[in-house]
């Protein structure tokens, strides 16, 4: 009987030990979705990590067991490392600094936006990558099958309308056949060598009418000639004026997604606009700065009109279409997204040019984008640029928008302005020179004083005053 307190103490110790063990296990237990982990891995990690083998960082397979064996750390350490490895190293964590030194002091990107569950999903995928990828592809296939079923169900309801269209075409065909028969009968009548008395009287009366109003007919012919010449002149003026031109490109590239939703500056892709005449077409190498890791489109934005027009059944189909265009870019540059390596098989992208100045016109992007940036942005703000009302540019416009329109709202790029000589002259006559620039304020000081004397203190120097209308500036 006296031994009972001892047994009770043993049971109490056992209970405390089990509680502590259970708590520790639950803190280190990783429960995540491998399919979601595969998706997150593809979106965030493939620039530096492979499933098997070292890239910039270590392989992802077995990372949980590896850090446990090497550093005696687990789930919480991995969470801290992935979210902000720099802070973890600066805290004095020995294993974090060891890994940093082991991989040539190459600092890993921080991912504070990933939730604890997101990281658990990635770690679950790392334990069995094949199962995670298989589950992801199965879920994707199921979603696609469901979307196709919904599309089929929607299209099946159009049987009645199709029947009406068929009946309408049948009625129209009958009418056309009847009209052809009547025309054939009229042609046979006109082939007769002798006219009936009534037909002869009608023909004579018409000739008499022509002779009576001979002057009217001649004046009408002269007016018709002038109208024809005027139409020809208008047609000649329209040659090369392609406002609204919107060709189909070999790869569907949405400026609204890149420049609008993602907020990428125009000059990140068209960097040569700052240094020369042309803005340049970015190479796929530049695209790979982002798309080395962005292999699928997962954004919220999509073009609703593509669904409303019936081209695609749902938003998911549109997004899948965007993903397919990314794959086209991979094929052109020779990139295998599965292995994160180049194949060496490249195919040039044959972009269709939209803006192309005639050979007899000199235009420098550099002069407008760099030297004229402040002046053009002020003209946009003041609404003095040509076609300002139609363009309706936002207050935070980039300098490029003055000529190319608000590309952040264009999915397929189109020509926003006429780009005629008159259009350029109008811009030069209304755009004020940036006198806040030290070079301009000193170089045009004498001209400014002369204009003040002639037009008063409020006189402004516009581009036409500094040679913007001289023929040799653009035609040489």
pLDDT band at 199 (very low <50, low <70, confident <90, very high): low
Dihedral sign of CA atoms 217, 222, 223, 225 in order = positive
Asked if pLDDT for residue 385 goes beyond 60, the answer is yes
Query: Which run of H or E residues covers position 27?
Result: helix 4-28
Q: What is the mean pLDDT of the chain?
A: 82
Name 469's Cβ contacts closer than 8 Å, sequence gap at least 6: 425, 428, 429
Closest by Cα among 277, 256, 262 to 405? 256
pLDDT digits (tens, 9 = 90+) for 120-154: 889 998 888 888 888 888 887 787 777 667 666 55
**pLDDT at site 141:** 79
- Gap between the Cα atoms of 330 and 394, Å rounded: 34
Closest by Cα among 233, 238, 246, 230 to 419? 238
Query: Which run of H or E residues covers position 341?
Result: strand 341-342
Q: Which residue has the tokens 């081209």?
A: 311
Residue 452 phi/psi, 5° resolution? -65, -40
pLDDT digits (tens, 9 = 90+) for 226-250: 888 888 888 888 888 889 999 999 9
**pLDDT at site 270:** 93
Between 176 and 85, the higher pLDDT residue: 85
Contact 461, 449 (CB under 8 A): no
Any idea which of 212-216, 277-281, 424-428, 439-443 has the lowest mean pLDDT?
A: 212-216
What is the value of pTM for the model shown?
0.59
Dihedral sign of CA atoms 4, 9, 12, 17 in order = negative
pLDDT digits (tens, 9 = 90+) for 80-122: 989 888 888 889 998 888 888 888 887 888 888 888 888 888 9
Q: How many residues in the chain?
A: 476
**pLDDT at site 26:** 45
pLDDT band at 58 (very low <50, low <70, confident <90, very high): confident
Any idea which of 231-235, 253-257, 436-440 has the lowest mean pLDDT?
A: 436-440
In sequence order, what are the beta bridge partners of 462?
432
pLDDT (average), residues 433-453 = 83
Helix (H, G, I), strand (E, B) or coil at 342: strand
Query: Which run of H or E residues covers position 6?
Result: helix 4-28
Name 306's Cβ contacts closer than 8 Å, sequence gap at least 6: 312, 318, 321
pLDDT (average), residues 182-190 = 58
Cα of first residue to Cα of last residue in the chain, in angstroms, is: 116
**pLDDT at site 249:** 93
């Amino acid at each position: 009987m006296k031994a009972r307190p001892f047994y009770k103490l043993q049971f109490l110790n056992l209970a405390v030990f089990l509680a502590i063990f259970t708590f520790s296990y639950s803190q280190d237990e990783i429960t995540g979705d491998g399919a979601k982990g595969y998706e997150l891995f593809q979106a965030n990690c493939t620039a530096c990590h492979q499933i098997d083998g070292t890239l910039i960082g270590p392989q992802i397979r077995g990372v949980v067991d590896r850090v446990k064996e090497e550093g005696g750390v687990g789930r919480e350490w991995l969470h801290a490392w992935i979210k902000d490895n720099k802070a973890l190293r600066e805290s004095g964590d020995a294993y974090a600094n060891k890994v940093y030194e082991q991989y040539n002091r190459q600092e890993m990107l921080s991912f504070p936006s990933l939730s604890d569950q997101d990281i658990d999903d990635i770690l679950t995928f790392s334990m069995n990558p094949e199962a995670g990828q298989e589950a992801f592809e199965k879920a994707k296939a199921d979603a696609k099958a469901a979307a196709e079923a919904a599309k089929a169900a929607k299209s099946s309801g159009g049987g009645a309308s199709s029947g009406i269209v068929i009946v309408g075409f049948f009625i129209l065909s009958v009418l056309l056949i009847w009209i052809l028969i009547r025309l054939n009968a009229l042609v046979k009548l006109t082939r007769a060598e002798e006219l009936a008395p009534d037909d002869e009287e009608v023909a004579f009366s018409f000739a008499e009418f022509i002779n009576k109003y001979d002057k009217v007919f001649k004046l009408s012919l002269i007016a018709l000639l002038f109208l024809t010449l005027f139409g020809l002149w208008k047609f000649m003026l329209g040659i090369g004026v392609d406002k609204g031109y919107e060709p189909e490109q070999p790869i569907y590239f949405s400026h609204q997604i890149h420049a609008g939703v993602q907020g990428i500056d125009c000059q990140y892709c068209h960097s040569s606009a700052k240094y020369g005449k042309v803005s340049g077409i970015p190479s796929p190498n530049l695209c790979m700065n982002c798309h080395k890791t962005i292999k699928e489109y997962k954004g919220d934005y999509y073009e609703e009109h593509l669904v409303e027009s019936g081209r695609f059944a749902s938003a998911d189909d549109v997004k899948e279409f965007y993903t397919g265009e990314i794959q086209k870019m991979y094929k052109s540059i020779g990139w295998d997204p599965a292995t994160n390596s180049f194949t060496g098989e490249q195919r040039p992208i044959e972009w269709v040019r939209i803006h192309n100045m005639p050979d007899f016109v000199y235009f420098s992007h550099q002069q407008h984008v760099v030297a004229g940036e402040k002046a053009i942005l002020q003209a946009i703000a003041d609404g003095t640029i040509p076609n300002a009302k139609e363009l309706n540019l936002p207050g935070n416009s980039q300098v490029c928008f003055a000529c190319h329109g608000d590309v952040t709202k264009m999915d397929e790029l189109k020509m926003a302005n006429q780009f005629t000589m008159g259009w350029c002259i109008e811009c030069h006559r209304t755009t004020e020179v940036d006198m806040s620039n030290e070079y301009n304020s000193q170089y045009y000081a004498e001209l400014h004083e002369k204009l003040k004397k002639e037009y008063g203190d409020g006189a402004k120097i516009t581009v036409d005053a500094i040679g913007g209308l001289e023929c040799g500036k653009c035609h040489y």
